[in-house]
Amino acid sequence: MTLDQFARVLEASPKWVLNTSRAIGADHDYSLERARSFAIARAVHEAVQLPLPQAFSLAREVLAEWTGDERPLSIRMEPSGDVSLTLDVYRLVASVNVRWSTLCESYAPIMRGRPKVKTANPLDAARDWGLDLSLLRDNLRKSPLQRLQQLDNMHAFAHTVRRGT
């Protein structure tokens, strides 16, 4: 996944992704799992103004604890348990998955350099088009001398047919 694709999956700017990666001390690993963590961290950060490094570590804990069910997940924000946050992890993960799927179907990143030429085997293309290649393969198995003799025989036959004898 490229930086641009990663940002589109998160509905964020590439600059936000780079700044967030730098803030949490993460490498530039643009994977779907990382996108899910970023989405949850962003939701926590926007909801309770928790700093991004703490929100990201909380997001990893949430994803490790989440079993995949649709129920919202409650997380204790303080060790005393007085403050808790309820996250709809299923919705957040589903929205990332939907955006990734849409991106895979409709978005093609601009590739650098010349476009790669597809080098298809011409014999396979001819066979796929419906041509019978058995005579061509049989003639290619023959030696050049055998092919010349066959050509002479065909010429003599054509000459005989034209004369009508």
Q: Low-confidence residues of the chain, pLDDT below 50?
A: none
Q: Which amino acid is at 27?
A: D
Task: Write down the pLDDT at residue 127.
Answer: 87
pTM comes to 0.57
Residue 1: count other Cβ atoms within 10 Å of its Cβ.
18
Task: Write down the pLDDT at residue 40.
Answer: 85
Task: Write down the pLDDT at residue 147.
Answer: 92
Question: Can you list the positions of beta strands (E) in 3-79?
Answer: 73-76
**φ and ψ of 130, to 5 deg:** 115, 10
Task: Write down the pLDDT at residue 80.
Answer: 57
> For residues 33 and 40, what is the distance between their CA atoms, to the nearest angstrom?
11
Q: Cα–chain-centroid distance for residue 87? A: 29
